[in-house]
Chain A
Amino acid sequence: MRYQLHLAIHYAFERPPGSGRQLLRVQPAQIARVQRADQIALSMQPPPQDQDRFTDFWGFQVTSFTLPPGLSELRFDLTARVERQEPGPRFDLSVHPAELPAELAAAPGLGPAAPHHFLAASPHIPAVPAISAFAASACAGAPTVAAAVEALGQALHAAMTFDPRATEVDTPIATAFAARRGVCQDLSQIMIAGLRSQGIPAAYVSGYLRTLPPPGKPRLVGADAMHAWVRAWTGVEGGWLDYDPTNACFVGGDHITVGAARDYSEAAPVIGMLRMQGLQSGSHAVDIVAL
């Protein structure tokens, strides 16, 4: 599928913020055989000072810039043409969960796609005993890692209520899990904590989700929005597998990837003085139009 992506983020300031540095991680990634993006344009109004661009450890295309002082309003517009391959039929090549340690040992290395990064706790995803217990029970008896991933995703989707008012960007996962409420960011980070507790490397993916309600089917939650899901490592052969716990499905042609990191703190669309007020609040709009 080919899409025209448009992201608009708008800020209105009651009092002008001081000048300050920001980082943006919003550009669709280039992923061989999965996703290609071109005609990428990022503009800001009013134009910022000293704009720069770099690729971070995980491969995110990051834009850094300094806000001019005395702003009352600020607007970002990102446009891109994205070609996303529709995934073919999925064969479960993953190993039995008990074989993962040996698989990990057979894949040393610390490149950005190495599974070893995604086993230990990370800044936003500490070990939470209640989540570990939930994951242990959901994954029990799963014949393969992929099956364990799906089982935990479905269990979480059933147990949690999607509620944009329940959490903020920095609500701890333990709090969101205790309330059984949250948004895609919370669900994904809770699922990652659960997978890691079972020894399954799991990453946080940020991206965009396009939704066209198929006839007779309900509209997917978070339609045309910035979105987040989970990427789990299933073994040397099975590799990485993307799962969307918010919608209880494996990731398909409607998910556009920006990048994957250990958790939200490394993948947040905006870092700096401008914090996002939750991924799905009204300060931004996403349009994904099929070409």
Chain B
Amino acid sequence: MQPQQGKALASEGGLLAYRPLPGVPDEMADAQGRIRPLWQGLARWLDSLTPTERVLHFARADQYLNDSGVFYRMYGAEGSVERRWPLSPVPVLVDEDEWLALVPALAQRADLLERVMADLYGPGDLVASGRLPPDLVAGNPEWLRPLVGVRPRTGHFLHFIAFELGRGPDGKWWVLSDRTQAPSGAGYALENRVATSRALSEFYATENVHRLAGFFRDFRDALLAHRTDREGRAAILTPGPLNETYFEHSYIARYLAFNLVQGDDMSVQDGRLLLRTVSGPKPVEVLWRRLDSAYADPLELDQGSRIGTPGLIAALRAGQVSLINALGSGVLEMRALMAFLPQLAPELVGAPLLIPNVATWWCGAPAARATVLANPGRMILGGALSTALPFDPHAGRVPADTLSREALARKLDREGAQLVAQESVTLSTTPALIDGTILPRPMTLRVFLARTQQGWQVLPGGFARIGATPDPAAIAMQRGGKAADVWIVARHKVETLSMVPARPEAYRRPLPSALPSRAADNLFWLGRYVERAEGIIRLLRARNTRMAEAGLAAAPLFDCLAPLFAAQGVKPDEGIPKGLLATLDAAITSAAQVRDRFSPDAWSALADLQKTARRMATRVTPGDDAARALSALLRKLAGISGLVHENMYRFVGWRFLSIGRLHERALSMAGWLSVLADPEAPVGALELAVEVGDSVLTHRRRFSVSTARATVIDVLALDPMNPRALRHQIDGLRSQIDLLPEARDHGVLSPIARDILRMQTDLAVADPETLDTAALEDFRDRIAALSDRLTATYLI
């Protein structure tokens, strides 16, 4: 961020130096370069800041995004990486009156698409009567035949859609693309709002900007109203953490308090869709899918899908689940449909389109081919069935005039039915923060519509994409494009809403719903990996300290430790061993799967720990250097535990995390003691055990003598008051397991509750003599078996 700040300071001018691009309409400035009235407040406020203040304000947005871990996933030749969210903190302002005029036009288009879909998955009149060419439907991979004739239980196919808009040279808005499959961006719009309002907080507070929460609250209520049973739940279906917008899926799930589920978390029985939870299978009645339709059911759709739910369509046919949107809605995204919507609108919705879409010609029709041939200079050719956004780098669009006239004629003749021509789009520009300077950049606006109990509602705001360069083709984030917030500015004060219900007296604290087994599994393993990492770090630090102090004299002790390191796949002679990094990676992977339940601060801290450890691994040398580095990692780890345990809601999820942690600590301690407290262990092993068990002070206070096997076993295994002792972990496991669902059935203990009770009893009656190496090994095996039993009972 340093170089950017430098530039901003150098540019000095703020918005005074802002000049629109010649001949391109701009949102903020008119053709003469004068700031439009709507923008004057923002421009004045920005100019009232000194360059330093401006930089500091903008940095707050970045800080917020950083702290909340907002990212998107970018795919490249090297696989995929998480990228920081590229926000330009200058919002796009839209006048409320202009917006209000747009709302019915957008709702009309949504209704039109609903009618088209109802026909394509119903009577099929549009094709049978020749109003839509059969090729566009029959040859379209998004038209899913198994859904033909399946009537949506809600009565509607579309519930949540988006339109990509651009402002043309005449100042009017145009639809560039229809997003009906499973549009992303609404969650990012929320994050953009929070970040932008942080950056411009003083100004935002005085402006009458329409709030976003009401839209989400109404949509949530609409989704919940589709349930027929209070037991039924609403969930968000995600393809998983590797999806490019997974962050948003987990964010919205957290925001709406819905379960975030993946395809194999669910099964279908007797026509009902059931979610595996730690309390047994629970019905799901409403599924907001962020998964493309074709992957949703490997039995009746794409058989290669590993992220679907076999039988989902059977549940739809049985009318037991509502899908948001109905499966197969992707067919409406095909570019060629835009060539037909203008003709279809008067008949299907009783009026011409209120907002035009990009002029589009389907080249399967002779008249369209003639038009394209006559005007190649203003046409862009692309795939008729393509659903890619116009500015998607992979959309495969080419200007028609890059071909010779003969080649164009031949192409149209041969492949006409597979081609559409679209008028090349010009976009307006909007002020964007580019490398510290505010410059005019091309912009498209994604708007969101949700079907609520009052009909279509349009999110009063949206998601603006801004090009990295003046070239409108560079708007995709994959090409360096940015995102910005959209403010609908009213003349009068706007109503402020949040997700809290409007009437406090109507508020009832909802019962936390049953925890999905996948989430429980990942929380359990997150607890285990974090604890395992701590154990490895403590052992490594002890070894490196001794290496620095005693050198070769410590060799027998090192031999004694070798099997403990080997068991964790750690090579202790590396400064920061790869085995430790792998454990941290595993912790991150588990945490990534439960981001909807995990505190953003804890996530950032964990990611920071991973990054630090990786950096250290490249330069830290064994011995004293490593010992100090490991101490630093240990302090970071303690911070994470603190964040998690201070902030996490104490319910079933937290319980699984705690069980994971206690379990791993018990396992490590039993393992360490079986080696380090063995009568054959070399000199110094007992002291090392007390050190890695973080119980030096406890031991000293309780036994003012030097370490002996009996005192060490007492402190590290038998003492219920020592939070590091084996006994303490077993006690903790017992009380947590007793509180798990179905731990007792009519007073009868579940097998796992019985196991842990036996272990607790055995440990309570043990003494340092009877708790010999064999007994410790036996305990370790019993603890390990507990994990398998837990998995089989709750997590599969």
Q: Contact residues of A with B, CB < 8 Å?
A: 20-23, 49-50, 52, 54, 56-58, 64, 66, 104, 108-111, 114, 116-117, 119-120, 123, 265-266, 271-272
Q: Which residue of A lies closest to B272 (CB)?
A: A50
B128–A57 CB distance below 8 A: no
Q: Which residue of A lies closest to B136 (CB)?
A: A116
B2 shortest CB reach to chain A, Å: 52
B135–A120 CB distance below 8 A: yes
A20–B135 CB distance below 8 A: no
B199 shortest CB reach to chain A, Å: 49
Q: Contact residues of B with A, CB < 8 Å?
A: 124, 127-130, 134-135, 137-139, 145-146, 148-149, 268-271, 299-300, 302-303, 310-311, 314, 317
B146–A56 CB distance below 8 A: yes
Which of B124, B127, B299 interacts with A271 by CB under 8 Å?
A: B299
CB within 8 Å: A-B pair count: 68
A20–B124 CB distance below 8 A: no
B131 shortest CB reach to chain A, Å: 9
B299–A21 CB distance below 8 A: yes
Q: Which residue of A lies closest to B310 (CB)?
A: A21
With A21-B311, A56-B146, A57-B148 already in contact, the answer to whether A50 and B138 are too (CB < 8 A) is no
CA distance A117 to B269 in the complex (A): 32
CA distance A22 to B146 in the complex (A): 16
B317–A114 CB distance below 8 A: no
A109–B268 CB distance below 8 A: no
B127–A108 CB distance below 8 A: yes
B139–A119 CB distance below 8 A: yes
Which of A114, A120, A265, A272 interacts with B139 by CB under 8 Å?
A: A120
CA distance A136 to B137 in the complex (A): 27
Query: In the complex, which residues of chain B have a beta carbon less than 8 angstroms from the beta carbon of A20?
Result: 310
A109–B128 CB distance below 8 A: yes
Query: In the complex, which residues of chain A have a beta carbon less than 8 angstroms from the beta carbon of B124?
Result: 109-111
Which of A22, A54, A57, A110 interacts with B137 by CB under 8 Å?
A: A110
B303–A64 CB distance below 8 A: no
> Can you give 15 A-B contacts (C-beta < 8 A)?
A21-B310, A23-B299, A52-B271, A54-B314, A57-B149, A108-B127, A110-B124, A110-B134, A110-B137, A114-B138, A116-B134, A117-B138, A120-B135, A120-B139, A272-B299
A54–B317 CB distance below 8 A: yes
B148 shortest CB reach to chain A, Å: 5
Query: In the complex, which residues of chain A have a beta carbon less than 8 angstroms from the beta carbon of B268?
Result: 21
Extra A-B contacts (15), CB below 8 Å, given A57-B149, A119-B135: A21-B311, A50-B270, A52-B314, A54-B317, A57-B145, A66-B269, A108-B128, A108-B129, A108-B130, A109-B134, A110-B124, A116-B137, A119-B139, A120-B135, A120-B139
B177 shortest CB reach to chain A, Å: 23
Query: In the complex, which residues of chain A have a beta carbon less than 8 angstroms from the beta carbon of B299?
Result: 21-23, 64, 271-272
Query: In the complex, which residues of chain A have a beta carbon less than 8 angstroms from the beta carbon of B271?
Result: 52
A262 shortest CB reach to chain B, Å: 9
Pairs of residues from A and B, 6 with the lowest C-beta to C-beta distance, nearest first: A120-B139, A116-B134, A57-B145, A116-B138, A109-B128, A21-B310
CA distance A272 to B269 in the complex (A): 15
CA distance A56 to B138 in the complex (A): 16
Query: In the complex, which residues of chain A have a beta carbon less than 8 angstroms from the beta carbon of B129?
Result: 108
B128–A64 CB distance below 8 A: no
CA distance A9 to B439 in the complex (A): 70
Query: In the complex, which residues of chain B have a beta carbon less than 8 angstroms from the beta carbon of A54?
Result: 314, 317
Query: In the complex, which residues of chain B have a beta carbon less than 8 angstroms from the beta carbon of A57?
Result: 145-146, 148-149
Query: In the complex, which residues of chain A have a beta carbon less than 8 angstroms from the beta carbon of B270?
Result: 50
Query: In the complex, which residues of chain A have a beta carbon less than 8 angstroms from the beta carbon of B138?
Result: 110, 114, 116-117, 119-120
B261 shortest CB reach to chain A, Å: 18
B299 shortest CB reach to chain A, Å: 6
B730 shortest CB reach to chain A, Å: 33
Query: In the complex, which residues of chain A have a beta carbon less than 8 angstroms from the beta carbon of B317?
Result: 54
A110–B128 CB distance below 8 A: yes
B144 shortest CB reach to chain A, Å: 9
Which of B128, B148, B149, B310 interacts with A272 by CB under 8 Å?
A: B310
Q: Which residue of B lies closest to A19 (CB)?
A: B267
CA distance A121 to B308 in the complex (A): 23
Which of A50, A64, A114, A123 interacts with B134 by CB under 8 Å?
A: A114
Query: In the complex, which residues of chain A have a beta carbon less than 8 angstroms from the beta carbon of B139?
Result: 116, 119-120
Query: In the complex, which residues of chain B have a beta carbon less than 8 angstroms from the beta carbon of A114?
Result: 134, 138
Query: In the complex, which residues of chain A have a beta carbon less than 8 angstroms from the beta carbon of B135?
Result: 116, 119-120
CA distance A224 to B126 in the complex (A): 44
Query: In the complex, which residues of chain A have a beta carbon less than 8 angstroms from the beta carbon of B137?
Result: 110, 116
Query: In the complex, which residues of chain B have a beta carbon less than 8 angstroms from the beta carbon of A22?
Result: 299
CA distance A23 to B129 in the complex (A): 34
B315 shortest CB reach to chain A, Å: 11
A59 shortest CB reach to chain B, Å: 11
Query: In the complex, which residues of chain B have a beta carbon less than 8 angstroms from the beta carbon of A111?
Result: 124
A271–B146 CB distance below 8 A: no
CA distance A20 to B271 in the complex (A): 14
CA distance A119 to B137 in the complex (A): 12
Query: In the complex, which residues of chain B have a beta carbon less than 8 angstroms from the beta carbon of A104?
Result: 134
CA distance A114 to B137 in the complex (A): 12
Query: In the complex, which residues of chain B have a beta carbon less than 8 angstroms from the beta carbon of A64?
Result: 299, 311, 314
Q: Which residue of A lies closest to B271 (CB)?
A: A52
A189 shortest CB reach to chain B, Å: 15
With A50-B270, A66-B269 already in contact, the answer to whether A23 and B300 are too (CB < 8 A) is yes
Query: In the complex, which residues of chain A have a beta carbon less than 8 angstroms from the beta carbon of B300?
Result: 23, 56
